[in-house]
Amino acid sequence: MVYAASLDTPQINRAFAEWTNCGVPILCDVTGDVAEAYGVIDEARPLPARVSFYIDRNGRIAQIDREVSPTSHGNDILQHARALGLSPIARLSRLTRASKRLSRRVSAVTGQP
């Protein structure tokens, strides 16, 4: 499966995913623990670097993409994942639909878009 992680709020992540047509769920790393563990944030760098880590089925990092462009990254993620055999597109489509349903449920409960 393919996931993204961000320090931003769910609302900002949703807007970003729609703007970039990302097609993958963006997880919220509100504490920054994940970003710190992957070395994209530390005391000298308060904002995370935009980096994509592609992790294989064995839990190993298969590829690191440090050339992240917000405007093309959604498509870039899909291309890299397919090339590495990490996520069939059918699974991504189902996951995207499930993520949208979850977002609608969260919006209904919180009253926020």
- Reported as a single tens digit per residue, the pLDDT across 21-54 is 767 788 899 888 888 888 888 788 777 888 888 8
Q: What is the pTM of this model?
A: 0.59
- Reported as a single tens digit per residue, the pLDDT across 46-63 is 778 888 888 877 888 888
pLDDT score at 76: 79
Count of domains for the chain? 1
At 48, list the tokens. Answer: 């995370």
Q: How confident is the model at residue 107 (pLDDT cuts 50, 70, 90)?
A: low
CA distance linking residue 18 with residue 13, whole number of Å: 9
- Full domain range(s) for residue 76: 4-110
Nearest to 35 by CA among 48, 45, 17, 52: 48
Partnered with residue 63 across adjacent β-strands are 54
